[in-house]
């Protein structure tokens, strides 16, 4: 799913990838290889280590309020917000 989302972004704009320690990133080695990036992981409960992520989360909440199930979003809904 993550690789699919990054397909539409030109590789010159992708340098690193910072995530939390969620199980959805267990395949980070494949992500590093296919996107030619380095993956970094924030320490648990250190949200300030991912400041941009937290900012984007706040912006996304304007379109997708809390309680919205993200895996049920359509590609069209995501593209509209992007």
What pTM did the predictor assign?
0.53
Instruction: For residues 42 and 23, give the distance between their C-alpha atoms in angstroms, rounded to a whole number.
Output: 14
Would you state the pLDDT for residue 1? 66
Taking only the tens of pLDDT, the chain with its 82 residues reads: 677 878 788 888 888 887 777 787 788 888 888 888 888 888 888 877 777 878 888 888 899 988 888 888 998 998 898 8
Would you state the pLDDT for residue 63? 92
Segment 36-42 long-range contacts (CB within 8 Å, at least 24 positions apart): 36/11, 40/16, 42/18
Q: Which of 26, 21, 13 is nearest to 2 (CA)?
A: 26
Would you state the pLDDT for residue 21? 76
Q: Which of 39, 35, 29 is nearest to 9 (CA)?
A: 35
Looking up tokens 């919205």 gives 68
């Amino acid at each position: 799913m993550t690789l699919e989302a990054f397909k539409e972004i030109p590789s010159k704009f992708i340098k690193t990838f910072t995530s939390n320690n969620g199980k959805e990133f267990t395949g980070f080695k494949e992500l590093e290889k296919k996107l030619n990036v380095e993956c970094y992981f924030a320490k648990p409960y250190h949200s300030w280590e991912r400041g941009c992520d937290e900012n984007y989360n706040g912006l996304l909440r304007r379109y997708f309020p809390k309680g919205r199930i993200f895996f049920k979003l359509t590609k069209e809904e995501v593209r509209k917000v992007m």
